Amino acid sequence: MSELYERTACELVDLVKNGETSWGEVADAQFRRIAAVEDRVKAFMTVTEDAGRAAAQRADAGGDPFNPLSGVPGALKDNMCTRGILTTCSSKILHNWVPPYDATVTEKLMATGMVLVGKTNMDEFAMGSSTENSGFFTTRNPWDLNRVPGGSSGGSAAAVAAGEAVYALGSDTGGSIRQPAAFCGIVGMKPTYGRVSRFGLVAFGSSLDQIGPLTKDMRDCALVMNAIVGHDPNDATSVPMEAPDFTESLREDVRGLRIGRPKEYFPEEGIEPAVRDAVETALASLADLGAEIVEVSLPHTEYALPVYYLIAPSEASSNLARYDGVRHGYRTPGDVDMIEMYLKTRDEGFGAEVKRRIMLGTYALSAGYYDAYYRKAQQVRTLIARDFERAWEKVDLLLTPSTPTVAFPIGERADDPLAMYLNDIFTIPTNLAGLPALSLPCGFSPEGLPVGLQLIGKAFDEETLFRVGYTYERSTEWHRARPTLPP
Ligand code: GLN
């Protein structure tokens, strides 16, 4: 592995420090890689080459020598506001929207000296698991261009896996960081709800959304987490709490840790054998490394999907009411009265999945149905959170598959929303409970597609996830595998 675009952030920092390359050369290699493969991968909504190269020059001119991400090329999902740069959420209704302000995560990464390479494609408004719901085009999985990269942060995951960005941010409402990370063979972390500011993240399900890193390995994940966490007075749900230095948790030591294996996440049916085998093997190797594996049960797991598909659409139907063609984004052309303008703008601007969610949510919140659906879902959400609380009496973290299958072929589930929703069965409960979780590579299927395992932690205990994830990663070579995508 010798190409600059294949390197991790940490490796690049060492190369630059030793005078073997410069951030200008790194940016050069990065944009050349994008030019070479992007027409096949289609990870980006917008490529920001001029701004990226200018930032690389600043990094070479001194940058912030103490910042470990200064000069490193990264990408942002297109639902994170970037001042002066298109932020479309991959929706026709925002196709021309240029935000007048930066999201807090954008501001924080810019302050590290980030070389922004672009804004990544996603399922429209982050609703989906494959990027097939993008209002513009489908991103392809770099491991097999006929398969989906996962979603909704599919562009971010594909960009990192294909060497088009060293790291990227995604957002995760029900699995949208972890599922594409698993499908693309990289690391993806959803932090604890409240750990990372949502200010400037276009809202989908506000009680579930959380921003997190997609990276090539655990060390880079810790660096990006360090850069984006922290209290933000602009986000009332961000927690006023000092964040630790996550790189200090990168210790190869799992002795004495109790890892829970929730039996509901290893069902007899509905999971690919290759996925189950890889995850069981990972459990066994962690046991060899000194962890104790404990069987646990999370009995309300089966209700997580129906609960999520009431709560997330309810919040979405409220959040998306603002797109009415009046202030920004798309407005239907022609001479129509106001009501007609609202109706046509929304009809023409939103895609089918977004409309389905708005209808579901509006129904669940409507008078007469609110108690039966929305309130009931909130009550069951509490039961799901309590399942985890009980598990923490016995174990320090949980280990599960990230997804029931490896990346599926483009088109296979596009017309079957239920089959698509089922993909998130292992990731959704943690969003409902607000807990931190990460996906990291743990093997390959017989077709050569990556498999991911998920670690779930106690609230605000990302440190244990870093410790266990790092120890496991160091005992394998999975994270070094790169897809062959000839330039
Ligand atoms: N796939 C899930 C959905 O469609 C989760 C998406 C997400 O996490 N943003 O809602």
pTM for the model? 0.97
154 closest CA partner among 95, 79, 83? 79
The predicted-structure confidence for 8-27, as pLDDT tens digits, reads as follows: 999 999 999 999 999 999 99
**Any idea what the CATH number is for the domain that residue 80 is in?**
3.90.1300.10
Query: Does the C-beta of 128 come closer than 6 Å to ligand 1?
Result: yes
CA of 486 to the centre of ligand 1 (A): 31
CB pairs under 8 A, 24+ apart, for 129-134? 129/175, 129/176, 129/179, 129/420, 129/421, 129/423, 129/424, 130/154, 130/408, 130/410, 130/413, 130/414, 130/420, 131/90, 131/155, 132/410, 132/411, 132/414, 133/90, 133/351, 133/352, 133/353, 133/354, 134/90
Is residue 330 included in any domain, yes or no? no
17 is catalytic: no
Report how far residue 259's alpha carbon sits from residue 296's, in angstroms, rounded to the nearest whole number. Answer: 9
Is residue 25 included in any domain, yes or no? yes
Query: Does the C-beta of 152 come closer than 6 Å to ligand 1?
Result: yes
The predicted-structure confidence for 48-87, as pLDDT tens digits, reads as follows: 999 999 999 999 998 777 789 999 999 999 999 999 999 9
Q: What is the pLDDT of residue 321?
A: 96
What integer is the mean pLDDT of 192-216?
98
Report how far residue 52's alpha carbon sits from residue 24's, in angstroms, rounded to the nearest whole number. Answer: 10
Q: What is the pLDDT of residue 2?
A: 78
- What is the distance between the terminal CA atoms of the chain, rounded to a whole angstrom? 14
Is residue 265 included in any domain, yes or no? no
Kindly name the residue from 91, 130, 152, 249 that is annotated as catalytic: 152
CA of 427 to the centre of ligand 1 (A): 9
224 closest CA partner among 450, 474, 438, 473? 438
Kindly name the residue from 130, 156, 171, 176 that is annotated as catalytic: 176
Share of the chain above pLDDT 70, in %: 99
- Select from 80, 120, 121, 152 the residue to mutate for testing ligand 1; criterion: most ligand atoms less than 8 Å from CB: 152
The torsion region of residue 306 among left (phi > 0), alpha (psi -120 to 50) and beta comes to alpha
Q: What is the pLDDT of residue 276?
A: 97
Secondary structure of the chain in HEC code, one letter for each residue:
CCCHHHCCHHHHHHHHHCCCCCHHHHHHHHHHHHHHHHHHHCCEEEECHHHHHHHHHHHHCCCCCCCCCCCCEEEEECCECECCECCCCCCHHHCCCCCCCCCHHHHHHHHHCCEEEEEECCCHHHCCCCCCCCCCCCCCECCECCECCCCCCHHHHHHHHCCCCCEEEEEECCCCCHHHHHHHCCEEEECCCCCECCCCECCCCCCCCEEEEEECCHHHHHHHHHHHECCCCCCCCCCCCCCCCHHHHCCCCCCCCEEEEEHHHCCCCCCCHHHHHHHHHHHHHHHHCCCEEEEECCCCHHHHHHHHHHHHHHHHHHHHHHCCCCCCCCCCCCCCCHHHHHHHHHHHHCCHHHHHHHHHHHHHHCCCCCHHHHHHHHHHHHHHHHHHHHHCCCCCEEEEECCCCCCCECCCCCCCHHHHHHCCCCCHHHHHHCCCEEEEEEEECCCCCEEEEEEEECCCCHHHHHHHHHHHHHCCCHHHCCCCCCC
For residue 1, count CB atoms less than 10 angstroms from its CB and return exposed for 0-12, middle for 13-18, buried for 19 or more.
exposed
Q: Give the residue, by CA position, lying nearest to ligand 1 atom 4.
A: 128
Identify the residue whose tokens are 């000839």: 486
- Select from 176, 201, 425 the residue to mutate for testing ligand 1; criterion: most ligand atoms less than 8 Å from CB: 176
Report how far residue 209's alpha carbon sits from residue 180's, in angstroms, rounded to the nearest whole number. Answer: 16
What integer is the mean pLDDT of 137-165?
98
Tokens of 97: 């929207």
Report how far residue 377's alpha carbon sits from residue 374's, in angstroms, rounded to the nearest whole number. Answer: 5
* Count of CB atoms situated within 10 Å of the CB of 270: 9
Among 60-64, 282-286, 299-303, 374-378, the least confident range? 60-64
Q: What is the pLDDT of residue 459?
A: 98
Is residue 384 included in any domain, yes or no? no
Q: What is the pLDDT of residue 244?
A: 96
1, pLDDT greater than 80: no
Report how far residue 148's alpha carbon sits from residue 133's, in angstroms, rounded to the nearest whole number. Answer: 11
Omega prior to 152 cis, within 30 of 0: yes
Is residue 74 included in any domain, yes or no? yes
Is residue 292 included in any domain, yes or no? no
134 is catalytic: no
* Count of CB atoms situated within 10 Å of the CB of 327: 9
Query: Does the C-beta of 424 come closer than 6 Å to ligand 1?
Result: yes
77 is catalytic: yes
Number of domains the chain contains? 1
462, pLDDT greater than 70: yes
Q: What is the pLDDT of residue 437?
A: 98
What integer is the mean pLDDT of 99-110?
98
Is residue 353 included in any domain, yes or no? no
Is residue 11 included in any domain, yes or no? yes
Number of the ligand 1 atom closest to the C-alpha atom of 423: 1
Query: Does the C-beta of 201 come closer than 6 Å to ligand 1?
Result: no
What integer is the mean pLDDT of 291-300?
98
Residues pairing with 44 in the sheet: 120
CA of 173 to the centre of ligand 1 (A): 5
CA of 24 to the centre of ligand 1 (A): 36
* Count of CB atoms situated within 10 Å of the CB of 5: 23
168, pLDDT greater than 70: yes
CA of 458 to the centre of ligand 1 (A): 22
CA of 254 to the centre of ligand 1 (A): 32
Tokens of 427: 């990731």
Number of the ligand 1 atom closest to the C-alpha atom of 171: 9
Residue-range definition of the domain harbouring residue 436: 4-258+394-480
Kindly name the residue from 42, 70, 77, 190 that is annotated as catalytic: 77
Q: What is the pLDDT of residue 147?
A: 98
Q: What is the pLDDT of residue 66?
A: 72
Q: Rounded mean pLDDT of the chain?
A: 96
Q: Is the Cβ–Cβ distance between 217 and 473 less than 8 Å?
A: yes
Radius of gyration for the alpha carbons in the chain, expressed in angstroms and rounded: 21
Q: Give the residue, by CA position, lying nearest to ligand 1 atom 5.
A: 174
What integer is the mean pLDDT of 134-150?
98
The predicted-structure confidence for 387-416, as pLDDT tens digits, reads as follows: 999 999 999 999 999 999 999 999 999 888
CA 164 to mean position of chain CA atoms: 16
Q: Is the Cβ–Cβ distance between 9 and 215 less than 8 Å?
A: yes
What integer is the mean pLDDT of 302-329?
96
CA of 442 to the centre of ligand 1 (A): 23
Query: Does the C-beta of 126 come closer than 6 Å to ligand 1?
Result: yes
What integer is the mean pLDDT of 362-372?
95
Q: What is the pLDDT of residue 153?
A: 98
Q: Is the Cβ–Cβ distance between 93 and 124 less than 8 Å?
A: no
